[in-house]
């Protein structure tokens, strides 16, 4: 019986660690995607400053990054409650 409790505790710790790793990977991947998209849109917007579509793409990409960071924080809070 005591071994089952230890195994359950170890399982919770492993799933919590996995959740933290997934959160970090998600934020890292989103930041990489955002920087790539914003860089290309900014280059095109410098050539055509009156085309507001590129400016809209830049704003939406930053909003996506902010949402990913908030999701990451929420996942970290969830992992703290799992431990």
Q: What digits encode the pLDDT tens for the residues 18-74?
A: 888 888 898 999 999 999 999 999 999 999 888 899 999 999 999 999 999 999 899
Residue 75 pLDDT > 90, yes or no?
Answer: no
Q: Write down the pLDDT at residue 47.
A: 92
Total-model pTM: 0.76
Quote the number of domains for the chain: 1
Domain limits for position 66: 2-82
Element (H, E) at 67: helix 52-82
- C-alpha triplet 66, 72, 73: angle, nearest 5°: 95
What burial class does residue 4 get, using C-beta atoms within 10 Å of its C-beta: 0-12 exposed, 13-18 middle, 19+ buried?
A: exposed
What 10-13 contacts at long range (C-beta under 8 Å, 24+ apart), as own/partner pairs, is 12/82, 12/83, 13/83
Q: Confidence class of residue 2 from pLDDT cuts 50, 70 and 90? A: low
The CB density around residue 11, as the number of other CB atoms within 10 Å, is: 10
Q: Write down the pLDDT at residue 43.
A: 93
């Amino acid at each position: 019986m005591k071994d089952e409790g230890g195994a359950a505790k170890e399982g919770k710790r492993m799933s919590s660690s996995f959740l933290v790793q997934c959160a970090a990977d998600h934020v890292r991947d989103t930041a990489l995607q955002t920087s790539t998209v914003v860089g290309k849109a900014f280059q095109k917007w410098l050539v055509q400053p009156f085309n507001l579509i590129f400016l809209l793409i830049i704003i939406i990409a930053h909003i996506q990054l902010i949402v990913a960071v908030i999701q990451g924080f929420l996942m970290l809070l969830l992992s703290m409650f799992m431990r």
